[in-house]
Structure 1
Amino acid sequence: MATEADDERFLTLSNDDTCNFIEEMKNDNTKRKTKSDVKLLTEWLKENNELRAVEDISVPELNQYLARFYLSVRSRTNEEYEPDSLKSIQSSINMHLMEKNGINILKDKEFHHSREVLSAKRKHLKSQGLGNKKLKADPFSSTEIDMLFEQNLLGTGNPEALLNTIWLNNTLHFGMRGRKEHIDMLFGDIKMMTTASGEQYLEYNERLTKTRTGHSDSRAFTPKMFATPGNPRCPVNAFKQYIRRRPEDALTPDSRFYLSGLTGRKVNHSVRKTTVSSLLHPNVEATTVMQLTGHTNVASVNEYSSASLQQQQTMSNILSDIGSGSRG
């Protein structure tokens, strides 16, 4: 016999509810990118006297349109797109079509010609020097961080500097990846803890994100930020200052962590690269660094790291000694 508790155990949902749930869980940036790229193709189609929606065009016609689109499309400044940007546009269009009518322009044999055109276009662009240099974030140097503190852009002396410092510490110590991770943070995600010997530290309990699904890419341990007593830049002290300046009603676990928002362009990858470089240079094993940052392979960690100036000088000196008689 069914009880009232049994009735409450399962929610009554429709097919529309399942579709809406999928839509809500999509990354906002991905949705905006898809919409923008489909709009770009739509504008191109209109310029070529095609007024039908992309998903309403027959497969043979769409294949030919896409081939011409890849070959002729330019940016708003009338410049060629980077090769990877064109590939990204193709992926956005594919995502739109897969949702609308199940067409896969990345794999379906009917779109072989447009794929070949895109491949040839990307090779041509690369031969022209586009896309050959991989854009990498540069880590902050100790001198640059010192300068930011000296200019009161970091520190606890004013609200903006304190917010910048909290952002820097969270990214540096917790290995946070994108801006969205910061925006989605809740006050309860960070806990103040104390070791058995009395040392204070902050512990970050991350929630699942697009890039962290809770499976193979989850962290090996919970990231921690330890206090450095006597250090004016102690991260735990900065966090305490941040707590003291928050309104009473913003101290609940489900309150937004950043109340006023992050101003300016904060580049997480610069700080993330600083985290990896700073740990690898003192010979912390790459596999140990991976447990903090959440990387899944050593190659990914090495992409973030680069030889320090001191290491480069050491290598240069070794190479300069070749043939000089100073080495045995």
Structure 2
Amino acid sequence: MSSFKKASELLNSSNDTVTINELKGRLTHLENNQLSEIHKSLSKSSNKETFDRPCIETLQKYVSSTKPKNTNKNTCLWVSRFESFVNDTQPNIDLMTLYDKKAIAMLLCEFIIVIQTKDKKEYKANSLYNGICAINWFYQEIFKDREPFNIHEDFEFRIVRDTLHTRMIELEEINNGEYNGADPLTDEEMVKIFEHPDISSNSPDGLLRRVFLWVGCCTARRGGSYHNIMASHFKKRDDGGYNIVTIHDKTHQGGYYHQTNSNQQPVHIIPSDEPGTYGACHDIRKYLSLRPNNAEENFFLRINKDIKENWYSTFHLGQDKLSGMLKEICNITGIDCTNRRIVNHSLRKCTAQKLNDEGLDSQAIMNVTLHRSIAGLNVYRTQNEKQKLDIAKLTLPGISKDILMQENLEKSAEDLNTEQRIENLSSQEETKTEPFTEIQNITIPLKRKDDLIDNFRLKFVKCSNFTINITK
């Protein structure tokens, strides 16, 4: 044991204190020398800068703008409703100075059970949940200097969570499971809208509405974000189309809290018009050319009272007017909105559903809608009626995918406009047009079992001298 030294003795013997202190001193000297050089270079600067300190109002603006406007608006709405409830039922209680969690929990339970819309209708379940989340965020701000506050986690609010759970189930049953979201327009309704004479590009109102519809369909924007579109966001493409750059969006908020790894902003493409047609690019190009040079940066402008001089004003279209644009268009064009919630957000749903019906994969649709997750996208798309019907048929005994495919092929053949084809052939005969003499090769893929080929039917109209070759 005598041959071994204690750890402390070994440390002291192997590290010279004087040498170590000398090394530390030299390092400190180098660091101070660097700071000294920086200070000297600053002192040599002859241009003395002056700065204006921001006032408290400016500072407050930057601090309060971290939350999205809709979040603040929703919070104010629900807190005011909760406060009105307490003032009416418990006038001796001041919510702004109430710091007792158990008392707040009891008031919230009563509020959840009785709260209705101002026109005495029941809320949708998800609306009530979002309202409680807004109240929770408000109280977290009030309690931040006292203690943690969380309705969704704290033990004191277990009764609130149970009450909210039961109430949401009750509301789901009352509303048949429907949620308070926007309803999409069908593709047929969109075509009807664009063909309506009041949605013509030959008038300032019609052109403004058409451009609004084109932008909504091609970008699938959220209902409240049209006001944020600027004229500078439209970039001309070499092929004649436009790129619409999205600077900020609900899922691309940017800033310190929402930094992304990509330096590129989301871009939506408005494809160039087909030759000989007047589509989205024609209307957008015409609208941009009619904007006054000194107009505000906002893309959507007011219509001038006197359109002889200029169609559009230099001032932007009001947010309330813009928010009701699609509903106004539907009323003008005779689209039935009975028992439907048609708002600007409906165009977003319409685009997402259309792309889904066309068979695009989730990532391709998300590139348009700018969703971050498939779960978020699924809210905007559902199976169409044909898909639901096909799945329902598969639940029946004796029905398989092969039989269902055969039925669909037969129905598709029957849906062809036979009369039109006969009419075309007849008109060819009348004009003494020479019939086709070339061999027409038509390939029909059959993805079915061998025993089902016998049941396959082909329909030929006014044909002669044809041969059918069946190959496996």
From 8, 31, 34, the equivalent of 2:75 is 34
Task: Name the counterpart of 2:241.
Answer: 201
2:243 and 2:270 in contact (8 A); partners too: yes
Question: What SS class does the counterpart of residue 86 from structure 2 fall into?
Answer: helix
> Structure 1 residue 270: deviation in Å?
2.3
- Equivalent residue in structure 1 for 2:64, among 19, 23, 39: 23
Relative contact order higher in (CA < 8 Å, ≥ 6 apart): 1
Q: Which stretches in structure 1 are left out of the alignment for 5+ residues?
A: none
Q: Return the letter of the residue paired with 1:277.
A: Q
Q: Which residue of 2 aligns with 1:244?
A: 289
Residue-by-residue CA offset, 1:26-82 (whole Å, 9 max, x unaligned) = 333322222221111111112223344313113132222222222233333334333
* TM-score (ref. length: structure 2): 0.58
1:203-244 Cα deviation digits (max 9, x unpaired): 111112343234569888521112114354411110111012
Change (3 A) 1:5 1:311: farther
Shifted more, 291-300 versus 34-43: the winner is 291-300
Question: Counterpart in 2 of 1:53?
Answer: 94
Superposed CA offset, 1:146-182 (max 9, x none) = 3213322433122222111111111221232232x21
Aligned residues: 318
For residues 259-304 of structure 1, what are the alpha-carbon distances to aligned partners after superposition, in whole Å with 9 as ceiling and x for unaligned? 1222734333322233233333333333222222212233443443
Q: What is the Cα deviation at residue 13 of structure 1?
A: 5.8
Aligned-partner Cα distance in 2 for 1:117–1:165: 47
1:105 to 136, 141, 151: 151
Residues 86 and 315 of structure 1: CA distance in aligned 2, closer, same or farther (over 3 Å): closer
* 1:52–1:309 Cα change, 3 Å: closer
Cα distance in structure 2, aligned partners of 1:22 and 1:244: 39
- Matched to 1:166, the amino acid is V
Aligned partner of 1:82 in structure 2 is 124
Matches within 5 A, 1:124-143: 124-126=170-172, 128-130=173-175, 132-135=177-180, 137-143=182-188
Contact 1:220–1:292 (CA under 8 A) maintained in structure 2: no
- Correspondence list, 1:271-290, <5 A: 271-290=347-366
**2-side partners of 1:155 and 1:237: how far apart?**
12
Task: Determine if contact 1:187/1:255 at 8 Å carries over to the other structure.
Answer: yes
- When normalised by structure 1's length, the TM-score is 0.80
Structure (1 or 2) with the larger CA radius of gyration: 2
3-state SS of paired residue (2:107): helix
Residue 249 of structure 1 aligns to a residue whose secondary structure is coil
Instruction: Give the root-mean-square deviation of aligned CA atoms.
Output: 3.5
Corresponding position of 1:147: 192
1:159 aligns with 2:199: no
- In structure 2, stretches of 5+ residues that fail to align are 1-38, 303-316, 327-342, 407-447, 453-472
Query: CA 1:51–1:22 in 2, change beyond 3 Å: closer, same or farther?
Result: farther
CA distance in 2, matches of 1:191, 1:25: 29
Which residue of structure 1 aligns with residue 235 of structure 2?
191
CA contact (8 A) 2:247 2:265 kept: no
Q: Quick check: 2:112–2:167 contact (8 Å CA) kept in 1?
A: yes
Amino acid at match of 2:89: N
